[in-house]
Amino acid sequence: MHNKTITELSAGLKAGDFSSEELTNSFLQRIEEHGETLNCFVTVSGKEALEAARVADGLIAKGEGGVLTGIPMAHKDIFCTKGFKTSCGSKMLDNFISPYDATVVSRLAAAGMVSLGKLNMDEFAMGSSNETSYYGAVKNPWDTNCVPGGSSGGSAAAVAARLVPIATGTDTGGSIRQPASFCGITGLKPTYGTVSRFGMIAFASSLDQAGPMTRSAEDAALVLQAMAGFDPNDSTSLENSVPDYSAELNKELTGLKIGLPKEFFEEGLDNEVAKAVEAAVEEYRKLGAEVKEISLPNMDLSVPAYYVVAPAECSANLSRFDGVRYGYRCENPENLEDLYSRSRGEGFGAEVKRRIMIGAYALSAGYYDAYYLKAQQVRKLISEDFKKAFEEVDLIMGPTAPSTAFGIGEKTDDPLSMYLSDIFTIGVNLAGIPAMSIPAGFVKSKPVGLQLIGNYFSEGRLLNAAHRYQQVTEWHKGVPAEFE
């Protein structure tokens, strides 16, 4: 059952081939068998999952519920989940039991999905390898000596190893797409504001966006349908109607205009990854798409701009973790200053501290104009580059990451090299537009991701392009040998 898509699982549930309880038990057994190997789960909620599965079975028996009813899934441990630990991969929140559900959690539960637990992640979503977690590094199921990508590495690894059919993720600078690329799955970052951020612990509020991580584009469309929509609890939520993301999955691609940014294929891109991406683009030509070279001239500025904006926002957002109201508190503080400094010093990991300090510096008196304001101006230029590009083309394509998954520990002592892992994804977040990564081949037995970038609110077109590609290729069906 673990190799079936959501559509296939839903059909099996409705036909009575198996029950949601049986399906849930099957995945719980896989988690017990493989979860420790990959270190991808922080919390497994077996008892609660089986109770939810029985409720789903009752609905299905009555002919009620939808396509997602009774389907198991898991949440990245950045989404508040009532009655469960929500750690954000940090010692700071290791003891935090959420009193409420994030909107993403409540909406997927309302759709009838069965949550199996919470997935490991880089601490406070800060990282590109899932090595900064308080609970240890997550391992890539294709090669357990390699990273799964970050920060949604636990989600990507769990889906790739077929421990869950789908998982939620968040993307601040590529944290859905890059791990999707490294683990050979489909990951979608929607337009900023499409999915509510309420109850999603903030890293950088103007960049963070939740999205689905699945086996296929067809599955992603079904899950996004349930996740998306206006939320009055989120001031950045868009008051747009939710389209039927599955409606045009099978639409022909004849005449689709695809742009290949020349900046994506210059120095820094692995030659074998480039060949895999070029082969994928050739498939789109066969499907009737028109391909042309375009330019995103300010793309090289996306990394420095991001690493001013994101740390600045994180330094503000993480100021709430002070040892007073909730979360980690140091023992026997001498005074208030000692409480603050030791609680934060002991509760946060090295990467989080690094970004807080960078952000505080960028926002400090005398440096705000030179750094933060300038970064926001560059952000506008990057956004304008995309706007001009979409006057010429319908979609932009290129590599998701400059390489395949690298070794655990390979870049931990070189933060700059680690930051450059997101060089092709960051610009999308700065502009707030949608993008996704889909499997497009292998290099030395490691997956390669093809990135598809769309204009605002073009998720339907992205999913259509991804689905048509997946109908003529088999890359998204690959399963790591140990987890077949």
Tell me the three state secondary structure of residue 255.
coil
Pairing of strands 446-454, 435-443: antiparallel
- The question of whether 189 is a catalytic residue gets the answer no
CA dist 274 and 450 (Å) reads 10
The active-site residue, picked from 115, 151, 216, 246, is 151
* Preceding omega of 151 cis (within 30 degrees of 0): yes
Exactly one of 175, 181, 216, 237 is catalytic; which is it?
A: 175
* Inter-residue contact 43 to 99 (CB < 8 Å): no
One-letter amino acid at 316 equals A
Query: Which residue type, as a one-letter code, is found at position 368?
Result: Y
Helix, strand counts (H, E) of the chain? 15, 11
Paired sense of beta strands 395-399 and 257-261, if any: parallel
Given a contact cutoff of 8 angstroms between Cβ atoms, the answer to whether 2 and 162 are in contact is: yes
Please indicate whether residue 4 is annotated as part of the active site. Answer: no
Which one of 10, 20, 76, 90 is the catalytic residue? 76
Gap between the Cα atoms of 405 and 251, Å rounded:
33
Is 133 known to be catalytic? no
Query: Residue 425's CB: how many other CB atoms inside 10 A?
Result: 29
How many CB atoms neighbour CB 181 within 10 A?
33
Measured CA to CA, the distance from residue 186 to residue 160 in angstroms comes to 9
The two three-digit tokens of residue 7, written as one number = 């559509």
Report which DSSP code applies to 415: H
State how far the alpha carbon of 425 is from the alpha carbons of 128, 324, 447, 457, in Å: 11, 36, 17, 18
Per-residue tokens: 482: 């140990």
**List of E strands, 130-253:** 166-171, 186-189, 209-214
Residues carrying an active site annotation: 76, 151, 175
